[in-house]
Amino acid sequence: MTALQTSHSKEFVLQPFDSILVSMVKTKLLSSCYDEVREVGVRLSGREIILEGIVSSFYLKQVTQTVVRDIAGKVEIRNNVSVAYPETNKGE
């Protein structure tokens, strides 16, 4: 049994690396040239990186996921980022 395995199963435990992975993802998002992407939240649940927040376009939602993809490795990405189009002042 390796240090990364539990005694009750053969499933690998990522707990010691959770905070490092989340930190790396946050750092990568913070390096984006888009303000909205820098504001996206990150958490890890099991073997899944979860992205949460609100951006103003589907393009920025995809940018957020693309930025994280290289770091994720074999960890799945769940993109829970919502798109809320900015209101326009029509008729003014």
Tens-place pLDDT, residues 37-75: 999 999 988 889 999 999 999 999 999 999 999 887 788
Please, which pLDDT band fits residue 91 given cuts at 50, 70 and 90?
low
Statement: 15-83 belongs to CATH 1.20.140: no
Strand pairing class (48-55; 76-83): parallel
Rounded to the nearest 10 degrees, the angle between the axes of helix 15-30 and helix 58-72 is: 140
**Alpha-carbon separation of residue 86 from 38, 55, 59, 66, 90 (angstroms):** 18, 9, 14, 23, 12
In this predicted structure, what is the pLDDT of residue 4? 43
Q: 10 with 38: CB under 8 angstroms? A: no
Query: What is the pTM assigned to this prediction?
Result: 0.73
CA dist 52 and 41 (Å) reads: 5
